[in-house]
Structure 1
Amino acid sequence: MVSRQPHQSVLTVACEQTEVLLFDPISSRHIKTLTEAHEDCVNNIRFLDNRLFATCSDDTTIALWDLRKLNSKVCSLHGHASWVKNIEYDTNTRLLVTSGFDGNVITWDTNRFTEDGCPHKKFFHTRYLMRMRLTPDCSKMLISTSSGYLLILHDLDLTQSLEVGSYRMLRARRTPLSSDGGTSASRSACTPRQGNDSSKLHPHREGQGLSPRNSLEVLTPEIPGERDRGNCITSLQLHPKGWATLIRCSSNMDDQEWTCVYEFQEGAPTRPPVSPRCSLRLTHYIEEANVGRGYIKELCFSPDGRLICSPYGYGVRLLAFDERCGELVDCLPIQTSCLREIRSIYSHSDVVLTTKFSPTHCQLASGCLSGRVALYQPKF
């Protein structure tokens, strides 16, 4: 996993072993190696501000680090019972949000951290959790699962914990294929089922009645070519302007991989009417190389949202919504369309697993299974 500091003075790399690498992204100079950052594989890195960053690991912990003093951790956070895979941060509440293969999403109050950790509580739980993301404005939380579901918590309030013991995951209604073979993602009802099924799709506040915040929507995104075989959503990213979600998924047979872009129907920019109305609509897709089976490949948007960088075998592909690298809002098709390949770059000797654009410079980083990091400066 590759991560960037907001003001671009440090590039950090999470390694399969216990290490974290730090580079100067401009000169490509190796600055420092944190040789025992964790006791198991390091999975993700997230900057909280210009100096403080968090790492998470298969050792079930999260660690806070200060760039000014890297000889030791600021503190270790304990609360997960399995591998921790994702870190998000809400700048409004200063809550760190993590998710792991124990199915838990946990919030950590970084306003009150000490050497012994910081206060935390379980915010949400679901089975088969793979990845968790917050939209840029922190109004929604998206969760992908290995069973092919995509969960969306709307009107997000991270200060409340959700009682989810009575929830049941419902498979969403599917819309028919469009005339060109594309599909739409259809939403399941966000109200309790009728009859004897008392399961609810609206969470409750602790000790209170039904809450208008944190309403839960469960979807089964359609994947081209996978309508009858099921799929696992392995990688999940958000458009930098909050217009869409980007996923990487593989078939249950693990013989196909797809990159798909889904437009958020609610709050999205002006576009032609779409019927039937749904919360997500598949707008663009492309089939991937399916090299390095069993490993998760992390893709990313460019800072302006015009480009997608996708791991592709021993290299990366730059993908766009049209041949001019236009904005998504200007390239929304009436029917599902194929992503355009702008450039392919093969510079690794092993399978590429992660990619990341610089937030401030025209620069791209990729990391492969053998641990090598490559830096690029795209030119068009």
Structure 2
Amino acid sequence: MSSCNSAPKRVGNKVKCNLSFFDTIRKRPIGPSGYQIGYDDLVALKLYSNFYHYEIDKLEHDSHYGGIFNLEFSLDGKLLVAACEGKQVLLFDAANQKQINSVDSAHQNCVNCVRFLNDKHFATCSDDTSIKIWDIRKLKSCLRTLHGHSNWVKNIEWSEKDNVMVTSAFDGSIYAWNLKSHSENNMLYDKVFLMNGLMRMKLTEDGSKMVIATTNGYMIIIHDLNLATLATDLRSFKPSLYRLMQISDQCYPVATIYNYLFSPTRKRNRIEFIDDFPNEAEVISSLQIHPHGWSVVSRNINGEENEEWTSVHDIQSRDPSDYENSFMYIEEDIPDEPEPEEPPNQRPTDLWLGYISLDEYSNHNRDPSQVSQNIWENNFQLPAMGILNSGLIGVNASYNAYFQQHPEQRNKVITNLPRMTHFIKEKNVGKGYIKELCFSSDGRIICSPFNRGVRLLAFNNQCQELSMCVPDNPQQLKTIVEMNDYHKDIVVSCKFSPTHYQLVSGCLGSEIKWYQPVV
């Protein structure tokens, strides 16, 4: 193992730290009373500001792996699994960074995500629309292949609380899989949510919140998550329509009828939108939850595809009083209804809505050979859009009955609280490819792909935990160290070990690089 010749770039003089580890060892027998307040911050700053790349043996025959789209450590930090564009899954020993196994045809298309379910089993998902369950002790074949999604599967989460695996795909659906119960032909799953424009989905560690990123410039928090009732609670709710109502200053009764889902007193599956970004965000492509569930870090691109930004948003529950004025009333512009020219029993429609059903997705044939990770350049064709009655014209008994009992809700549109705490502009490179961010295990650091390298970002110059430095107004993330040009191509994935001060990154050119502190 030889050290890399070039050193990481130090950013100004912000990472200087006079902490001596000999002093740390000397004070260790004294216990916590021997350390001053803020000592942990000094240790973290010293370690993270001295992260350094080191060389290992290169991957054998790595040219056919393509991009390293996702990296995941095992729960004990001993193994690393890489998901590859070339359909492979690679396993590494995290102690010596050696490749110990591989599955050359893990899927029929690129592998997008890896998720460990326990210390022996992990799941993978792919653009071939399937999810597979693997045992690290016998990788010649997968344990199960799960079918249900009808488009590229991009996310796998594990809910410890509910003991189910949760997946999301570009078909707009979120499924909950009970891995202990299956039919003769397949495992049983529940379709817990369906929406247009779904991009990414993540769960907090305790399973109390679900965060959804969209292709329409906003995110959704589902507070007090209850997967068992989610499908019932959000049935017929269309987030894209409600968002359209917010940004167009128009009021549609077909949407305001769901205002109760936003109520701060709601105890189960409460909805909240996040729309404050430092730019005109369009596609929110990457999403990661803080290890303590305090915040979410996302990466977005604007509509012109010439800017990329990383943003941090607080997702914690807030006092109900904060929501008291988070709404607006919009006067309806009700058009005069013309004399009916069609049979009176035919319901009029007056609003085009971009929604499509899963059945329409399933019946829509696509050429798998044309699928790639480039989500913006490969705009697949969708079936025709549906039509909804906004409730402004025509007779709709269900709307009228509801608004007769709740007249104050008809013209009321919920507005969104500011949630952003930190942000930073990224390099706009690798057009069309998703760049996966990650948190360190202690939550102090965000690792962000940065051209052909990575950079470590902190919430302030002291590398404090987020709870100690929440700003009154959004602040720019602080660059602790940049590690540039260690890859031969654009970096698209990175991951911190859950147990050690160890970092790994992967690029579009099949390379995987390892980093650790050198002090």
TM-score range, shorter chain: 0.7 to 0.9
Q: TM-score, normalised by structure 2?
A: 0.63
Amino acid corresponding to residue 419 of structure 2 in structure 1: R
Structure 1 unaligned residues grouped into runs of 5+: 175-185, 187-192, 204-210
The alignment status of 1:165 with 2:303, answered yes or no, reads no
The 1:196–1:109 alpha-carbon spacing in structure 2 relative to 1, beyond 3 Å, is closer
Aligned residue pairs, count:
348
The alignment status of 1:302 with 2:440, answered yes or no, reads yes
Deviation of 1:76 after TM superposition, in Å, equals: 0.2
The 1:196–1:15 alpha-carbon spacing in structure 2 relative to 1, beyond 3 Å, is closer
Q: Does the CA contact (< 8 Å) of 1:201 and 1:216 recur in 2?
A: no
The alignment status of 1:218 with 2:273, answered yes or no, reads yes
**Corresponding residue number in structure 1 for 2:258:** 200
Deviation of 1:218 after TM superposition, in Å, equals: 2.7
Q: TM-score, normalised by structure 1?
A: 0.85
Structure index of larger Rg: 2
- CA distance in 2 between counterparts of 1:282 and 1:173 reads 22
State how 1:52-71 maps to structure 2 within 5 Å: 52-71=121-140
State how 1:65-214 maps to structure 2 within 5 Å: 65-113=134-182, 116-160=185-229, 161-162=231-232, 163-169=234-240, 170-171=242-243, 199-201=257-259, 212-214=267-269
- CA distance in 1 between counterparts of 2:99 and 2:254 reads 62
1:329 is paired with a residue whose SS is helix
State how 1:257-268 maps to structure 2 within 5 Å: 257-266=308-317
Amino acid corresponding to residue 43 of structure 1 in structure 2: N
- CA distance in 1 between counterparts of 2:455 and 2:122 reads 29
The 1:93–1:313 alpha-carbon spacing in structure 2 relative to 1, beyond 3 Å, is same
The alignment status of 1:321 with 2:390, answered yes or no, reads no
The 1:371–1:325 alpha-carbon spacing in structure 2 relative to 1, beyond 3 Å, is same
Amino acid corresponding to residue 243 of structure 1 in structure 2: W
The 1:166–1:327 alpha-carbon spacing in structure 2 relative to 1, beyond 3 Å, is closer
Q: Does the CA contact (< 8 Å) of 1:264 and 1:280 recur in 2?
A: no
| Alignment RMSD (CA, Å) | 2.5
Amino acid corresponding to residue 277 of structure 2 in structure 1: I
Which range moves more in the overlay, 160-169 or 147-156? Answer: 160-169
The 1:223–1:75 alpha-carbon spacing in structure 2 relative to 1, beyond 3 Å, is same
The alignment status of 1:47 with 2:116, answered yes or no, reads yes
Deviation of 1:118 after TM superposition, in Å, equals: 1.5
- CA distance in 2 between counterparts of 1:97 and 1:69 reads 24
The 1:198–1:257 alpha-carbon spacing in structure 2 relative to 1, beyond 3 Å, is closer
- CA distance in 2 between counterparts of 1:20 and 1:282 reads 36
Deviation of 1:69 after TM superposition, in Å, equals: 1.2
Structure 2 unaligned residues grouped into runs of 5+: 1-69, 327-415
CA offsets, 1:27-72, max 9 Å, x none?
Answer: 0111111001100010000001000110000000000001111111
CA offsets, 1:121-165, max 9 Å, x none?
Answer: 211011111100001111111100111121111111112324533
The 1:331–1:24 alpha-carbon spacing in structure 2 relative to 1, beyond 3 Å, is same
Q: Quick one: higher RCO (CA 8 Å, sep 6+), 1 or 2?
A: 2
Deviation of 1:202 after TM superposition, in Å, equals: 5.4
Deviation of 1:199 after TM superposition, in Å, equals: 4.1
CA offsets, 1:297-317, max 9 Å, x none?
Answer: 000110000000000000000
- CA distance in 2 between counterparts of 1:98 and 1:197 reads 27
Q: Which has the higher helix share?
A: 2
Deviation of 1:331 after TM superposition, in Å, equals: 1.2
